[in-house]
Structure 1
Amino acid sequence: MSYLEATAKFYTEVAQSPQVGLCCVQSSPLQLPGLKIPCKMQEMNYGCGTTVHPAELANQPTVLYVGVGGGLEALQFAYFSRRPSAVIAVDPVAAMREAAACNLQIAAKENPWFNPSFVEIRSGDAFSLPQLDASVDVVAQNCLFNIFEPEDLTRALKEAFRVLKPGGRLQMSDPIATRPIPAHLQQDERLRAMCLSGALTYDQYIQRIIDAGFGQVEIRARRPYRILDCHSYNLEDNLLLESLDSVSFKVSIPEDGACVFTGKTAIYTGIERFFDDSAGHILQRGVPAAVCDKTAAKLASLIPKDVVVTNSTWHYSGGGCC
């Protein structure tokens, strides 16, 4: 049985018999005024973070959601795009599609603003999305892409890039590993399906996104997710997994490389009122300005040392320059 077949079997099981806390972080779903999440949806919250970032969802975007799960995030996206087929939810597992459709019917009874027609559920997978080129504003997936083998991950990222409009956003939440996961765990198909053994390291994960063509990546959150302890998983040392929420933009990659924002800032400390590096970055004295990691490294190397560069906060919500 391939890992994809094992994954389909596993998610058929959890669609029919929900496993509370299967892989979600221990936090409540995003709370929004007038939105009530049915209990069944909360039980089927099989994500590791969130992909629903309200600041990214102005003007009722068309959202392609890959891996519908119990429908929780599809419902949350529909909150911002209240029109038929505004959210297109794709899943290869028939039992999961059926469970999500039932949950959305329950949601319609509990939320007067919601109509199930807002979410169109389709059969399909991440490697061949049932959508035209450059046709959606947002592609989202939560705790799905980490299941894939590295080359399949690249295929999925390129498919997301294909269907996004220019300037569109890929909104993802996936586990990452703080060090490479040993082969004996990577090859365990059930652990991979459970989002415990397929994770890449942060650097590997971000590079795959850039290699797919995304010119800007912004980290929304990075936090502890699970730990693979040495006793249960035959490891020499405990291995920490983290949950990474990111938004990647379909924009051109600059000549000097993609812009990755991780919450760093640059602060000018010299005697002038402003600092201009002649590369498009103007810093006001004493005022932190958000910068991408690439620019942060350049500014940190300046002599004299009139610019202080702060560490990554692993949270970025806009502003600054790259």
Structure 2
Amino acid sequence: MSNDCCNTDESNKNLKGLDHKDAIQERYGSAALEKESCLCTPVGFNPVLLEAIPEEVIERDYGCGNPTKYVKKNDIVLDLGSGSGKNAFICSQIVGEEGKVIGVDQNPDMLKLSRYASKKFSEKIGFINTEFLSGSIENLDVLDKDLNPLIANKSVDIILSNCVLNLVNPESRKNLLRNIKRVLKDNGRIAISDIVSSKRVPLRLQNDHDLWTGCISGAWYEPELLNDFKDLGFKNLEFAERSNEPWKVIEDIEFRTVTLVGNI
């Protein structure tokens, strides 16, 4: 298996036909209704911050790291692919009443769960500072009827994401990255937990719906994740966390968890 198999013109041509959207919607829609144990990896969170969060949210959280540790008091937080809302609800308590947390997700079942849970959660903590918007994370610039983008320019202090960027179609990743930069304030930060690969994933594995929706075959090649954010102008980039042992090994490709931090 060649390590540069995704660099050929033929590969790039085939990538245009790569579309797992329906499979992702179906799998995560089901996972919003009933816990699926094989999505992403188990992660420990501060138990104190979990007490106010409804149990159904915690059960249906699918991530591979804890990017919430990099959020600060009074931050305006954007959670890309907010899912059940667990990370957003943790951030809500960290940023406090003067802060704000915006979750973006395109799965109707996940949005229904997070919005329903938000009412119970807010009653417990005594204030409301979370909002869950319907949209795809690569299209944060989509305009509403008043010609306002889903997320405004330079409106966010920190973007976090937990095992979601790998689900974005390769053809849409440039737009995803451009939008990440666009919505961050000057000196805005990122804290992105995701799966990376030790080699570029060949197209035949990328075309496997189960591997893609399982946060495996859509993994960024590890050096390219860093370089893509460097090319955007991000500074102080580092893997604040990186698992020593791979989460999965498929055909001699190691897939491991990382949390990438940096600022614009």
Q: TM-score w.r.t. structure 1 length?
A: 0.68
Moved over 6 A (4+): none
Alignment partner, residue 42 of structure 1: 58
Contact 2:34–2:60 under 8 Å retained in 1: no
Mapping for residues 25-36 of structure 1, pairs under 5 Å: 25=42, 27-32=43-48, 35-36=51-52
Secondary structure of 2:125's match? coil
Residue 188 of structure 2 corresponds to residue 168 of structure 1: yes
Mapping for residues 108-257 of structure 1, pairs under 5 Å: 108=122, 112-115=124-127, 117-129=128-140, 130-223=150-243, 224=245, 226-229=247-250, 235=251, 237=252, 239-250=253-264
Deviation at 1:19, TM superposition (A): 1.1
Deviation at 1:64, TM superposition (A): 1.1
* C-alpha separation in 1, matches of 2:193 and 2:50: 25
Gaps of 5+ in 1: 230-234, 251-322
Higher percent of residues as helix: 2
* C-alpha separation in 2, matches of 1:107 and 1:162: 30
One-letter identity of the residue aligned with 2:262: S
One-letter identity of the residue aligned with 2:132: I
Deviation at 1:123, TM superposition (A): 1.0
Residue by residue over 1:73-92, the C-alpha shift from the partner in whole angstroms, topping out at 9 and shown as x without a partner, is 00011012233771111111
One-letter identity of the residue aligned with 2:89: L
* C-alpha separation in 2, matches of 1:83 and 1:21: 35
One-letter identity of the residue aligned with 2:139: S
Residue by residue over 1:15-50, the C-alpha shift from the partner in whole angstroms, topping out at 9 and shown as x without a partner, is 12221352123x322334684443222211211111
Alignment partner, residue 144 of structure 2: none
Contact 1:139–1:164 under 8 Å retained in 2: yes
Deviation at 1:63, TM superposition (A): 0.7
* C-alpha separation in 2, matches of 1:225 and 1:32: 29
One-letter identity of the residue aligned with 2:83: G
Rg larger in structure: 1
Q: In the alignment, which of 22, 32, 36 is matched to residue 19 of structure 1? A: 36
Gaps of 5+ in 2: 1-17, 141-149
Contact 2:35–2:60 under 8 Å retained in 1: yes
**Greater relative contact order (Cα 8 A, min sep 6): structure 1 or 2?**
2
Identity of aligned residues (%): 25
Residue 104 of structure 2 corresponds to residue 90 of structure 1: yes
Return 42-51 or 151-160, whichever deviates more.
Answer: 151-160
Contact 2:205–2:217 under 8 Å retained in 1: yes
Q: In the alignment, which of 84, 91, 99 is matched to residue 70 of structure 1? A: 84
* C-alpha separation in 2, matches of 1:159 and 1:29: 28
Deviation at 1:182, TM superposition (A): 2.5
Deviation at 1:66, TM superposition (A): 1.2
One-letter identity of the residue aligned with 2:19: S
Q: In the alignment, which of 104, 117, 128 is matched to residue 103 of structure 1? A: 117
Contact 2:75–2:95 under 8 Å retained in 1: yes
Contact 1:85–1:119 under 8 Å retained in 2: no
Deviation at 1:225, TM superposition (A): 5.0
Deviation at 1:183, TM superposition (A): 2.1
